[in-house]
Amino acid sequence: MAVMTYREALNQALREELRRDERVFVIGEEVGLYDGAYKVTQGLLKEFGAKRIVDTPIAESGFTGVGIGAAMVGLRPVVEMMTFNFALVALDQIVNAAAKLSYMSGGQFNVPIVIRGPGGPAHQLAAQHSQSMEVYFYHVPGLKVVRPSTPADAKGLLKSAIRDDNPVVFIESETLYGIKGEVPDDPDFTIPLGQAVVRREGRDVTVIAYTGMLYRALEAAEALEKEGISVEIVDPRTLRPMDVPTIIGSVRKTHRVVVAEAGAGFAGMGSEISAFITEQAFDDLDAPVERVTGANAPMPYAKNLERAKTPSKEKIMAAVRRVCYANGS
């Protein structure tokens, strides 16, 4: 095991897959000469050359289309969005082409493409650069959607995404690029898509959270332990396909649920998780499912308002107390 940052784990995954499979290439804005806007592609141009690390103009729809066409003829492109907010410009390519070509061709074409980059709350980048974009994609049949929370998951899930024969939307977290953790050195280390993980065992309540919200949930769980409330935390890791059995298993163990997500709550990830828990485990619940979400407003620039918009440890703790009927909640 090596200790490295989330950013370095992504870089290692790309490097290993570029070495393993000559069909893999990276394309996007500033991925080559500049080493990536967030340095995820650092050093790759020097090792693999300009035919496999391809700098593009500021034209997300164009270079995403190039990636889709390359995937259709047998290559395995990794398309980098400088920030996933810019994927809106390529939404037609992702939703109407990548997601549907295998189905509409009767399986004659696969589209093994990974579209990756940072998304979700950032550090004072305001409304157009801080959106939680997963909601735009997990509704679309044909797309897989991944949100890794740790350096090990960043490496293992990205390698699985590159090897997958389907289009994968791989949304990282800008605020997590610098966090450190143990990452296996094995170049064959992968984590299967569609497999959740229990990050913390507990008895009284299940909290479901991913990327930045996972860390707020872990902080809340530590604080609540001092109040005698034992919190289990489940990280879905892959939002589509969702590991429903692991989540339902935790619900049947604790009988109470809080779902935390950074995006606005209406029709969000928490809505879907709450729905299948209610459909499949209603008789196991001792309280309604609680959702902790971002405020229903664009992300402000001001630091204090940015904090107010984003779910906090305190908001998660309050929701847990409510479902546990603790402290008068």
d(CA 122, CA 120) in angstroms, rounded, equals 6
Is 0.85 topped by the overall pTM? yes
Pair (101, 207) in one structural domain:
no
**HSE-CB for 122 with a 13 A CA cutoff:** 23
Q: For residue 93, count other CB atoms closer than 10 A to its CB.
A: 24
- pLDDT > 90 fraction of the chain, expressed in percent and rounded: 88
Residue type present at position 177:
Y
pLDDT of residue 29: 97
Q: What is the DSSP letter of 93?
A: I
Pair (120, 149) in one structural domain:
yes
pLDDT bin (cut points 50, 70, 90) of residue 129 is confident
328 within a domain of the structure (yes/no): no
Q: Are 138 and 145 in contact (CB under 8 A)?
A: yes
329 within a domain of the structure (yes/no): no
Cis-peptide into 118, omega within 30 deg:
no
Catalytic choice (17, 29, 60, 261): 60
Q: Are 144 and 193 in contact (CB under 8 A)?
A: yes
Pair (157, 116) in one structural domain:
yes
Catalytic choice (8, 129, 174, 255): 129
Pair (128, 235) in one structural domain:
no
**Domain extent at residue 134:** 2-183
Residue 129 is a catalytic residue: yes
Give the domain CATH number at 216: 3.40.50.920
Pair (68, 206) in one structural domain:
no
Give 101-120 pLDDT, tens digit per residue: 999 999 999 999 999 999 98
Report CA Rg, the chain.
20
State phi, psi for 236 to the nearest 5 degrees.
-65, -35
Give 229-256 pLDDT, tens digit per residue: 999 999 999 999 999 999 999 999 999 9
Helix/strand/coil (H/E/C) assignment for every residue in 227-277? CCCCEEEEECCEEECCCHHHHHHHHHHHCCEEEEEEEECCCCHHHHHHHHH
d(CA 179, CA 242) in angstroms, rounded, equals 25
253 within a domain of the structure (yes/no): yes
Give 188-228 pLDDT, tens digit per residue: 999 999 999 999 999 999 999 999 999 999 999 999 999 99
Tokens of 175: 């605020």
Give 16-71 pLDDT, tens digit per residue: 999 999 999 999 999 999 999 999 999 999 999 999 999 999 999 999 999 999 99
Nearest to 216 by CA among 292, 155, 117, 157: 292
